[in-house]
Amino acid sequence: MIILGKADQVMFESLRVTVTDAAAPVLDVLSRPLAALADLATRARRLVGVYQDNDRLVEENERLIGWQQAALKLASENAQLRDLLKLAPEPTATYLTARVIANSGGAYVRSLMVYAGSENGVSRGQAAVTGEGLIGRVSEVGSRAARILLVTDLNSRVPVVVQGSRQRALLAGDNSDRPCLRYLDSGAAIRIGDRIVTSGQGGVFPPGLPVGVVASLDGEAPRVEPYAELSRVEYLRIVDYGLADGLPKPIPVGARGGRRAERSADGQQSRR
């Protein structure tokens, strides 16, 4: 069964989606007490530091008002320049907020299950983000629930770019908390603290989604600390940029020729 699951991912994906859909309402109900407890703990922790937080936020608000003015000025300038260049407008994103009802519970898979599925407009390949940044992508969709493959998972590969130097790389998960940057130029000057954002290559994610910062340069490849705290995500936003069709489905076993080739990677009929 294990070997079959490894070999024929299509068959097990439909089984997995069915089981996930059936279990989603139960998991949703069962996860609520823990969520309420976690919420209570967060409130208690915030209560302790309410005065310091208030002082910090007042000071930060003053600073942000200045930035808001700058942003408004830049936005208007940007709109004028785009108009001058006749730049094609980027697709507008639509958001859907979903609650996390289960995690992968182990050291070998990094994924989350959310209580929103195709009925709510979720489809494969959509980006999953929190307020801090990208956390993963939708890898399986049922009618009521969907699985989010986190950027830290062994099978996750996200094309990214180092902000500032614009060096391209692939953010590869390895089941550790910090995914690594692969395929960087050998002479690339990269420093701890460099911001990593999506590059938009491959057409799955839009460019410019914040992912994390370079946290260490030891070993073979630089490691990236994601902005989002992946273990503490209670709600996440699934973002539809109209790009999700770019993600191919798993190719069925033996679909190299003959009749099975009719089921091509994107699910469309191939030419005879």
Partner 1 sequence: MKAIAAPARQSGDNPAARLLPIATTLLAMIISIQPAYIPGYASVAPAFTLMAVYHWTIYRPKLLPPLSLFLIGVTQDLLTGALPGVSALVMLLARTVVLRLRRHFINRSFPFVWTGFTMLTGGAMLLLWTVLCLLDRVVIDFRGTVFRAVLTVSVFPAASFMLGRTQRTLMSTG
CA distance 216 to 178: 9
Q: Which listed range, 215-223, 230-238, 245-253, 262-270, lies at the site for partner 1 (CB under 8 A)?
A: 230-238
Q: Among 124, 144, 147, 223, which residue interacts with partner 1 (rule: CB under 8 A)?
A: 147
Q: How many residues does the chain have?
A: 272
Asked whether position 7 contacts partner 1 by CB under 8 A, the answer is: no
The count of chain residues that interact with partner 1, using the rule CB under 8 A, is 46
Q: Which two tokens stand for residue 148?
A: 């989010």
What is the closest distance, in whole angstroms, from the C-beta atom of residue 34 to partner 1 in the complex?
6
Q: Does 5 sit near partner 1 (CB under 8 A)?
A: yes
Q: Does 140 bind partner 1 (CB under 8 A)?
A: yes
CB 8 within 8 A of CB 14: no
Tokens of 189: 């000057």
Residue whose pair of structure tokens reads 């609650």 in the numeric block: 99
Applying CB under 8 A, the span of 33-41, 89-97, 180-188, 207-215 interacting with partner 1 comes to 33-41
Stretch that binds partner 1, among 49-57, 73-81, 105-113, 182-190 (CB under 8 A): 105-113
Which residue type does 39 have? D
Q: Give 35 or 261: the residue with its C-beta nearer to partner 1.
A: 35
* 80, 176, 216, 270: residue in contact with partner 1 (rule CB under 8 A): 176
152: nearest Cα among 239, 215, 237, 242 = 215
Q: Which of 25, 30, 56, 61 binds partner 1 (CB under 8 A)?
A: 30
Closest by alpha carbon to 197, among 245, 241, 132?
132
Q: Which residues 43-102 are close enough to bind partner 1 by CB under 8 A?
A: 100-102
Q: Which of 105, 131, 193, 267 touches partner 1 (CB under 8 A)?
A: 105
Asked if residue 232 binds partner 1 (CB under 8 A), the reply is: yes
Nearer CB in complex with partner 1: 23/213 = 23
Q: Where are the alpha helices (DSSP H) in the chain?
A: 2-7, 9-48, 50-85
Looking only at residues 153 through 172 of this chain, which bind partner 1 when binding is defined by CB under 8 A? 154
CB 199, min distance to partner 1, A: 24
For residue 123, which of 105, 138, 108 has the smallest C-alpha distance? 138
The span from the CA of 37 to the CA of 205, in Å, is 34
On whether the CB atoms of residues 32 and 101 are closer than 8 A, the answer is: no
In whole angstroms, give the CA distance from residue 198 to residue 184.
14
130 binds partner 1 (CB under 8 A): no
Is 194 a binding residue for partner 1 by CB under 8 A? The answer is: no
Residue 106 engages partner 1 in binding (rule: CB under 8 A): yes
Backbone angles phi, psi at 27, to 5 degrees: -65, -35
Q: Specify whether the CB–CB gap between 135 and 128 falls below 8 A.
A: yes
Binding site for partner 1 (CB under 8 A): 1-2, 5-6, 12, 15-16, 19-20, 23, 26-27, 30-31, 34-35, 38, 100-113, 139-140, 147, 149, 154, 174-177, 229-234
